[in-house]
Amino acid sequence: MNSPPRYVYDKAKYHYETVEEAGLPDEHASNHTVPILRWLIENHLLSKFFLEEGAEPLASYKAGLLSIHGLYDWWDNCLIDDMLSEEGNAFGMHYFAFETGKYIPDYIATPQGRLPSEFRVVYSEENYARIRAVIDRRYAEWKTSRA
């Protein structure tokens, strides 16, 4: 039996009230998390457990049959530590941790720009490309600092 997660990076349910009050679709509660999830997938930083447990939805996602939001929904709209590899968690704790990481400030500065909140950012390929470049840079900096 798997142990309970030690760390929850984010859950969309934390943000449903905020997006509802703003008159936004529920999907916007996860628009700031799905880019980092996509990046973690693309950079092979998922745990063996989640690669096995999520093999079918991951294959559907990679085949273009399931959106990143659909994949996140399959995981109950949560990003937790048991989803990530050891390196994925080390980087996640450094970069994505809400209290201490730089991801949310980077997200606010990059795709959010002049929008009134990160929840107003629409998930799109263009916005993903913009934040992906920042995550790539932060990851490279992190890897260098660990060497």
Chain segment 84-121, per-residue pLDDT in tens:
999 999 999 999 987 889 999 999 899 888 888 889 99
The predicted-structure confidence for 48-74, as pLDDT tens digits, reads as follows 999 999 999 999 999 999 999 999 999
CB neighbours of residue 22 within 10 Å: 12
What pLDDT shows up at residue 1? 46
pTM: 0.92
Q: Are the beta carbons of 94 and 9 closer than 8 angstroms?
A: no
Say how far apart CA 85 and CA 89 lie, in whole Å. Answer: 6
Domain layout of the chain by residue ranges: 8-146
Does 37 or 108 have the greater pLDDT score? Answer: 37
